[in-house]
Amino acid sequence: MQNYEQLIEKIARVSGLSKEEIDRKVDAKCAKLSGLISKEGSAQIVASELGINFDNEKMKISELLSGMKRVNTLGKVIETSQIREFTTKSGITSKVMSMKLADETGNIRTVLWDTNHISLFENEEIKQGDVVEITNGSMRNDELHLGSVSGIKKSKENIDNADISVKISEKKISELVSGQRVKLRAVIAQIFDPRFFEVCPQCNKKAVNNSCEVHGNIIPLKRALLSVVLDDGNENIRAVMFNEQINNLGITDNDLNDSDLFMKKKEGLLGEEKFFLCNVRNNQLFNTTELIINGIEQVEIDKLIDGLR
Instruction: Give tens-digit pLDDT for 76-97.
Output: 999 998 888 888 777 888 899 9
What is the per-residue pLDDT for 69? 78
Which CATH code is given to the segment(s) 55-164?
2.40.50.140
Could you tell me where in the chain the CATH 2.40.50.140 domains are found? 55-164, 169-308
What is the per-residue pLDDT for 66? 66
Q: For the chain, list residues with pLDDT below 70.
A: 1-3, 35-36, 53-56, 66-67, 141, 166-167, 284-286, 303-309
What is the per-residue pLDDT for 305? 62
What is the per-residue pLDDT for 257? 92
What is the per-residue pLDDT for 286? 67
What is the per-residue pLDDT for 306? 63
What is the per-residue pLDDT for 40? 74
Q: Determine the Cα–Cα distance for residues 9 and 60; give it in Å rounded to an integer.
A: 13
* CATH number for domain 169-308, candidates 1.10.3720.10, 3.40.50.1370, 3.30.160.20, 2.40.50.140: 2.40.50.140
